[in-house]
Amino acid sequence: MLLMPMFRDEFEDSFLDRIHAPCVQSRADLLETAGAYVIKVDLPGFEKDQFDIEVGPDHVLRLSGKQSEEKETEGGKYHVRERRQVQFSRSFRLPQDIKQHEVGAAYENGVLTVTVPKAEKAAAPIIFMLFMQMKINQNIMKDTGIYGV
């Protein structure tokens, strides 16, 4: 019984404290507007340069960040240090109609706002061709007297 707590303390001191960084469970909103997709994520305590934002060819927006403070405390030893070592990661699958190379971001009052513009939709040429075909048919029917005018 006595050996197990000693082993656990030694194990935790040497390994777990070095790799453990708490993950932030951030709250997020995804809003679609006429021209963009806007993602807002609550991430208090971060700095602007601590974020990584990427949209891959799979149209997945990946947000991540790591916050750490490297200062050591004089005259003491941390046993648990969660307050200044924080990381987060969130992913959002976006539709195909995005401009993935024009992503914008802002960070204000603990909220990260990412804007992904929508790609402009091309006009459908089939509709124009159908309209032209109808006009041609009307002219033929007029010329042959079938149209009734």
Write out pLDDT tens, residues 30-78.
999 999 999 999 998 888 999 999 999 899 999 999 887 666 667 788 7
Is residue 138 domain-shared with residue 74, that is, in the same domain?
Answer: no
Per-residue model confidence (pLDDT) at position 110: 92
Is residue 73 domain-shared with residue 139, that is, in the same domain?
Answer: no
| Both tokens assigned to 67 | 């916050």
Is residue 53 domain-shared with residue 96, that is, in the same domain?
Answer: yes
Domain annotation covers residue 4: no
Q: Number of structural domains, the chain?
A: 2
**Shortest CA distance to 32 belongs to which of 112, 116, 108, 119?**
116
Mean pLDDT to the nearest integer, 78-98 = 83
Is residue 106 domain-shared with residue 141, that is, in the same domain?
Answer: no
Q: 24 pLDDT exceeds 50?
A: yes
Look up the CATH number of the domain holding residue 65: 2.60.40.790
Is residue 114 domain-shared with residue 127, that is, in the same domain?
Answer: no
Domain annotation covers residue 90: yes
Is residue 35 domain-shared with residue 101, that is, in the same domain?
Answer: yes
DSSP-derived letter for residue 136 is H
**Global confidence as pTM:** 0.61
Domain annotation covers residue 14: no
DSSP-derived letter for residue 23 is B
Is residue 61 domain-shared with residue 32, that is, in the same domain?
Answer: yes
Domain annotation covers residue 42: yes
Is residue 94 domain-shared with residue 126, that is, in the same domain?
Answer: no
Is residue 108 domain-shared with residue 63, that is, in the same domain?
Answer: yes
pLDDT category, 17, cuts 50, 70, 90?
A: very low
Domain annotation covers residue 16: no
Per-residue model confidence (pLDDT) at position 105: 96
Host domain of residue 140? 121-149
Is residue 82 domain-shared with residue 147, that is, in the same domain?
Answer: no
* Tens-place pLDDT, residues 108-140: 999 999 999 998 876 555 555 555 555 555 555
Q: What share of the chain is helix, strand, coil (3-state, %, to 5)?
A: 25, 30, 40
